[in-house]
Amino acid sequence: MATQTHGSGAVTAVMMAGLAGLVISLAIAFTNLVSGGHSAFNTGSDGVSWGLPVVNYVFFALTSTGLTLVASVAMTFGNKAWYPIAKRCVWLSLVTLVAGFASLAMELGHPFRMLWAIPLNAQLVSQLNWMGIFYAVFLVLGILKFMRIHGGDWNSSGSKQIGLAALVTELLAGGMLGMAFGAMAMRPMWYGNLVPLYFILTAACTGGAFAVLVTCLSYGGPDNMPEPVRKLMQGSLPMAFAALLGLTILVIGYRTVIGLWSNADGLQVWDAVVASPWYWVEAALLIGAFFLLLQRKALAVAAVMVIGGFFIDRYDFVIGGQLLPLFKGSWVPDLIAYTPSTTEWMLTLLAFSIAFFGWALGEKMLKLDAAPQD
Amino acid sequence: MAKWGMVIDLEKCTGCQACSTACQMENSRLPGENYQDVLYYTEGRQPTPQLKWFPRPCMHCEEPSCMHVCPTKATYKTEDGVVLIDWDKCIGCKYCMIACPYGVRFYTDEKALIEPNIKQVFKGDGDLSWNPPYKGPQQDPKHGVGIQPNGVVSKCNFCYHKISKAPKGTADLDESNPELVEYVPACVRTCAPKARYFGDLDNPNSQVSRLISDKQGTRLLDHTGNKPQVYYLTGGGAAAAAVPGTRANKKA
């Protein structure tokens, strides 16, 4: 399969916007963090400990997992029709993981200490320890895999084994991230042994959304797409994406109803979640995107809707689980008030800027539309 | 080796907060970030609402979830049963704050809980979060003792700088014993109504063990499985004090 020309005006525009976002967000976030430390965040010991920067991390780390899943359809599971987007997904999975790490690093008290403290003192029963290990291993495997396919080695035994190892590592990492929340029995909104599965399912949705969006942006629309790409984008991809999204919408609905129905102390957060207009914005975005995908129309719009919807979902999940004060919750029904600060929003901008600038840079320089010749 | 634990008699506690103040001074705590806090709340509705209070240190659990989640083993349990934080290993991920069911941990590098922000008045030297006009124990970051550095999490350490120096084999650290008074945790030593007891939970003859046994000591949020080493005595009868969240288990 021949590689296509690339570098549409949209890619250039995204790259410039990403660069601008990178400069602005770094300037503001660094200034505020250097001058005020983490008091620049609206998190607190008597309130929400994990704020918007952790939401960003969860969103982008799981998107990375999802992109690896999308790439694996062709590279691991052998569906050749999906090859035209595989290299792009591998690259984007690396970039989105870096975006997530960047937001998390700004949130940690001692990000550089982490580099030696975790390897030297690894707590084997800590989910965060294993999550860090799996994502770090994936980063190495992902880079190796990308180097292989960038050099044209798509199907050698070594290349396939690296790809399979990368996929398994990403699934373990995403699942471990789910366990980090799901194991918290003291926080009923998070607690549950199916949370890792929920994370991987939703990861596939955001991964699919990013894959569709950047593919559309790469070619500037279906008319400019080469035949194999157009066939994929008008055929199995939106259908698979719709099926996945439909299933996820059902799961979100079930979670909501269970949360509202149960009297368990701690689940009253769901009343607040559903009372928020943002929950209904999420519902409208996801359901709207589902119907667009079914009709194979406006795929880029559908992808943006899915990204927006799941960002709200991650926010509701991470923040919602902390809104009911622990311990005090047994007699104080009030919820903690939390609104992200400007600095926290800048880290969101930073993460999105890294993701899109990194993708556009790859699109310009690394021939992300390449696919195997046979 | 002792397994240190605390008993708090809620029927004696008057909610005076002397324990909080003593702890704050002893451990160089910032206002509002008390290792040992007294929580106030109301129960019932008009016309018969009741003001209640509840003293709450770190529970120094037998199965501390905060320790299990810590990716760097910065939170650890000593041989004598005390849960401590090694500030030199803490990366400030705050997962322990998420996992602690009792809300007893503090990350100081954020907005002041009580204004004005006294950290701006007494600015810390080097990495320390502030420079209090009064000084507690010597800085011992390996045991989470002293002035809290920036970027790490802190919590009650049972005044480890005191209790770790107690003579071996001591059953109870009783503030009324002149030979032991310097080893008694600040909150226990200062408690005017003598509502607090501190001793070896593994010693069946210690006063704490006997109180727990004789008066049916109960633990906070016992259903979480963390198995606190802080026990509460609630007494009995209709007007008895209550342990929030475990009221169903209270003796009738």
CB spacing of B71 vs A132 below 8 angstroms: yes
pLDDT computed for residue A32 by the predictor: 94
Does residue A31 lie within any of the structural domains?
A: yes
CATH numbers and ranges of domains, chain B: 4-249 (3.30.70.20)
> What's residue B239's pLDDT?
54
User: How far, in Å, are A120, A273, B140 from residue A114 at the CA level?
Assistant: 10, 34, 21
Residue A131: closest C-alpha in chain B:
B71
Model pLDDT, residue B251? 29
CB A246 within 8 A of CB A290: yes
Instruction: Output the pLDDT for position B213.
Output: 95
A289, A305 Cβ separation under 8 angstroms: yes
- pLDDT confidence bin for B237, thresholds 50/70/90: low
CA A333 to each of CA A20, A327, A328, B22, B44: distance values in angstroms, whole numbers, following the listed order: 44, 11, 8, 30, 13
Beta bridge partners of B4: B200
The pLDDT of residue A306 = 98
Burial of A164 from C-beta contacts in 10 A (0-12 / 13-18 / 19+): middle
A185 touches B at CB < 8 Å: yes
Within 8 A of B69 by CB-CB distance, chain A residues are 123, 126-128, 180
Maximum distance among all Cα pairs of chain A, rounded to whole angstroms: 67
Token duo for residue B115: 């204004």
Task: For residue A370, give both structure tokens.
Answer: 């390449």
pLDDT of residue A311: 98
CB contact (8 A) between residue B103 and residue A326: yes
Q: CB B70 to CB A123 under 8 A?
A: yes
Range of the domain at A250: 9-365
Quick one: pLDDT at residue B134? Answer: 82
In a mutational test of the B interface, the residue from A123, A127, A265 whose CB has the highest number of chain B CBs within 10 Å is A123
Q: Which residues contact A281 (CB under 8 A, 6 or more apart)?
A: A308, A309, A312
Residue of A nearest to B99 (CA): A184
Range with the largest mean pLDDT of A280-294, B136-150, B230-244: A280-294
How far does A127 lie from chain B, in Å, by closest CA? 7
Residues sharing a CB contact under 8 Å with residue A2, sequence separation 6 or more, in sequence order: A373
In a domain, A107, yes or no: yes
Q: Which of residues 116-135 of A touch B (CB under 8 A)?
A: 117-118, 121-123, 125-129, 132
Identify the bridge partners of residue B218 per DSSP, sorted by sequence position.
Answer: B232
Query: Are β-strands B4-9 and B230-233 bridged in parallel, bridged antiparallel, or unpaired?
Result: parallel
From A156's Cα to the closest Cα of chain B, the distance in A is 37
pLDDT < 70 stretches in chain A = 1-7, 328-333, 374
Contact partners, residue A39, CB within 8 Å, separation at least 6: B109, B110, B111, B112
d(CA A320, CA A269): 6
The pLDDT score that the predictor gives to residue B249 is 32
Given a contact cutoff of 8 angstroms between Cβ atoms, the answer to whether B71 and B107 are in contact is no
Question: A3 CB near a chain B CB, below 8 Å?
Answer: no
Q: Is residue A1 part of a domain?
A: no
Burial group, residue B101, by CB count within 10 angstroms (0-12, 13-18, 19+) = buried
pLDDT of residue B250: 30
Ramachandran assignment for A78, one of left (phi > 0), alpha (psi -120 to 50 degrees), beta (any other): left
Kindly list the distances between the CA atom of residue A138 and the CA atoms of A9, A118, A199, B93, in Å, as whole numbers in the listed order. Answer: 32, 17, 17, 21
The mean predicted confidence, pLDDT, of chain B is: 90
Output the six-digit token pair for A237.
Answer: 């991809």
The DSSP secondary structure of A235-290, one letter per residue, reads THHHHHHHHHHHHHHHHHHHHHHHHHH---TTTTHHHHHHHSHHHHHHHHHHHHHH
Q: What is the CATH number of the domain that holds A96?
A: 1.20.1630.10
Q: Residue A373 domain-assigned?
A: no
Q: What is the pLDDT of residue A335?
A: 84
Residue of B nearest to A115 (CA): B91
Separation between Cα atoms, residue B16 and residue B12, nearest integer Å: 11
Helices A9-36 and A342-365 meet at what angle, rounded to 10? Answer: 140
Rounded distance between C-alpha atoms, residue B70 and residue A79, angstroms: 41
In degrees and rounded to multiples of 5, residue B52 shows phi and psi of -125, 165
- Least CA distance to A330: which residue of chain B? B245
Does residue B47 have a cis bond before it (omega within 30 degrees)? yes
User: What pLDDT does residue B114 have?
Assistant: 82
Q: To the nearest whole angstrom, how far is the Cα of A319 from the nearest Cα of chain B?
A: 11
The shortest C-alpha distance from B99 to chain A (Å) reads 6
Residue B205, helix vs strand vs coil: coil
DSSP codes of every residue in A330-348: GT--PPPP----HHHHHHH
A371 and A83 in contact (C-beta within 8 Å)?
yes
The answer to whether B72 contacts A121, with C-beta atoms less than 8 Å apart, is yes
Closest-CA distance, A267 to chain B, in angstroms, reads: 15
Question: Cβ separation of B245 and A126 shorter than 8 Å?
Answer: no
Rounded to whole angstroms, how far apart are CA atoms A93 and A207?
Answer: 8
Q: Which residues of A22-32 are buried (b: 16+ CB within 10 A; e: fewer)?
A: beebbebbeeb
Q: Check: CB of residue B154 under 8 Å from CB of residue B144.
A: yes
**What integer best gives the mean pLDDT of chain A?**
93
Determine whether the interchain pair A128/B109 forms a contact, defined as Cβ–Cβ distance below 8 Å: no
Contact in structure between A51 and A186 (CB atoms under 8 Å) = no
Q: How far, in Å, CA of A170 to CA of A153, rounded? A: 21
Q: Which pLDDT score, from 0 to 100, does residue A63 have?
A: 98
Residue A330 lies in a domain: yes
Tokens of A57: 């991390």
And the tokens for B212? 């727990």
Judged by CB atoms closer than 8 Å, whether chains meet at B94 and A114 is answered as: no
C-alpha–C-alpha distance, residues A218 and A5, integer Å: 10
What are the distances in angstroms from CA B214 to CA A39, B61, B252?
48, 21, 15
Q: How confident is the model at residue B211 (pLDDT cuts 50, 70, 90)?
A: very high
Phi-psi region of A298 (alpha: psi -120 to 50; beta: other; left: phi over 0): left
Name, in order, each residue with C-beta under 8 angstroms of B29's C-beta and a sequence gap of 6 or more: B23, B35, B148
CA distance A276 to chain B (A): 24
Calpha distance B52→B40 (Å, rounded): 6
Domain total for chain A? Answer: 1
Cβ distance A327 to B97 less than 8 Å, yes or no, reads: no
Q: Would A101 be classed as within a structural domain?
A: yes
Report pLDDT for B235: 82
Residues of A in contact with B112 (CB under 8 A): 39
Looking up tokens 């760097």 gives: B72
C-alpha angle B189/B190/B195, rounded to 5°? 80
Within-domain flag for A3: no
Q: Which chain A residues are closer than 8 Å to B120 by Cβ?
A: none
- Tell me the per-residue pLDDT of B27-86, one tens digit each, with 9 for 90 and over: 999 988 889 988 887 777 788 887 888 899 999 999 999 999 999 999 999 999 999 999
Chain A contact set for B109 (CB, 8 A):
37-39, 109
Paired sense of beta strands B4-9 and B75-77, if any: unpaired
Q: How far apart (Å, rounded) are the C-alpha atoms in residues B69 and A195? A: 17
Chain B interface, mutation test: which of A46, A133, A331, most B Cβ atoms within 10 Å?
Answer: A331
Is residue A330 within 8 angstroms of chain B, CB to CB?
yes
How many angstroms from the chain centroid is the CA of residue A42?
23
Give the tens place of pLDDT for each residue, B101-127: 988 999 988 888 888 888 889 999 889
Is A104 among the domain residues?
Answer: yes
| Contact residues, chain B, for A38 at CB < 8 Å | 107, 109-110, 151
Inspect the interface and report whether the beta carbons of A327 and B102 lie closer than 8 Å: yes
Residue from the list A43, A184, A330 with its beta carbon closest to the beta carbon of B245: A330
